[in-house]
């Protein structure tokens, strides 16, 4: 049951590397939230039911509903719809994303060991690399924000692999979501639009030597 969900999760990561519409970004982050909710439900079914309910609700509420809703609100407010100044072509991004996938798979195969769940580790690593690629290749701050959320989701996915023994770790991962997502999306992004009237990273290069 978990494998199809994880494959779907990997597909969303690949799609994120080629899409150029911000609405698609927000929708994919929302879809990842729902997938993580389902994965948490299946993966953690053995833990204390009260704890499972709490984790599942947190995941659904923040990753599946609140974060995508905030992203859509930002899109509406800033009226930015498209990555018109992508630093790379779609095919280049796709190629880089596939290279990242191959690297993650190879590394996971190389460190194969019974200590950690390799599928979760490999996908988390791929999410980390995908997020970094998004941050480095795209110029708009919105893309950077999405890159950060992709990394965060990857970390959460990996925490569910270990969370069977230590559910507290998943709660900490969600804490990261709540604090950072709300702060970054809710406050700073709005302020940046007000103060800088800019939505690409080129405008954020004044503080330097």
Residue labelled with tokens 């992004």? 189
| Minimum CB distance to another protein, residue 120 (Å) | 10
Return the number of the residue (98 or 196) whose C-beta is nearest another protein. 196
- Cα separation, 189 vs 184, in Å, equals 6
Considering the rule CB under 8 A, would residue 103 count as an interface residue with another protein? no
What are the Cα distances from residue 72, in Å, to 9, 45, 52, 63? 21, 32, 29, 13
Residue 88 has phi, psi (to 5 degrees) of -145, 165
- Cα separation, 31 vs 21, in Å, equals 15
Count CA within 13 A, CB hemisphere, residue 136: 9
Binding mask 115-154 for another protein (x = CB under 8 A): xx-------x---x--x---x-----x--x---x--xx-x
Calculate the dihedral angle through the C-alpha atoms of 53, 56, 59, 60, rounding to the nearest 10 degrees.
-100
| Minimum CB distance to another protein, residue 91 (Å) | 27
Return the number of the residue (2 or 118) whose C-beta is nearest another protein. 118
SS3 53: helix
Return the number of the residue (38 or 134) whose C-beta is nearest another protein. 134
Candidates 8-16, 79-87, 89-97, 109-117 — which segment interacts with another protein by CB under 8 A? 109-117
Candidates 26-34, 62-70, 76-84, 112-120 — which segment interacts with another protein by CB under 8 A? 112-120
Q: How far is CA 88 from the centre of its chain?
A: 20
Binding interface with another protein (CB under 8 A): 111, 113, 115-116, 124, 128, 131, 135, 141, 144, 148, 151-152, 154-155, 158-159, 161-162, 165-166, 168-169, 172-173, 175-176, 179-180, 183-184, 188, 191-192, 195-196, 204, 206-207, 209
């Amino acid at each position: 049951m978990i494998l199809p969900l994880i494959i779907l999760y990997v597909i969303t990561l690949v799609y994120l590397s080629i899409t150029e519409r911000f609405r698609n970004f927000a929708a994919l982050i929302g879809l990842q939230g729902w997938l993580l909710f389902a994965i948490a439900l299946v993966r953690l079914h053995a833990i204390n039911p009260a704890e499972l309910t709490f984790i599942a609700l947190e995941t659904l509420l923040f990753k599946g509903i609140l974060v995508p809703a905030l992203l859509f609100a930002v899109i509406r407010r800033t009226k930015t719809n498209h990555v018109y100044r992508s630093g790379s072509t779609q095919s280049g991004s796709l190629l880089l994303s596939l290279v990242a996938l191959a690297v993650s798979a190879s590394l996971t195969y190389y460190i194969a060991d019974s200590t950690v769940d390799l599928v979760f580790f490999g996908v988390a690593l791929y999410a980390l690399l995908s997020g970094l690629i998004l941050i480095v290749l795209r110029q708009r701050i919105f893309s950077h924000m999405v890159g950060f959320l992709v990394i965060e989701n990857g970390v959460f996915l990996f925490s569910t692999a270990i969370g069977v023994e230590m559910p507290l770790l998943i709660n900490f991962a969600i804490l990261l979501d709540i604090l950072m997502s709300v702060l970054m999306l809710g406050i700073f992004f709005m302020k940046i639009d007000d103060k800088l009237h800019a939505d690409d990273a080129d405008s954020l290069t004044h503080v330097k030597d």
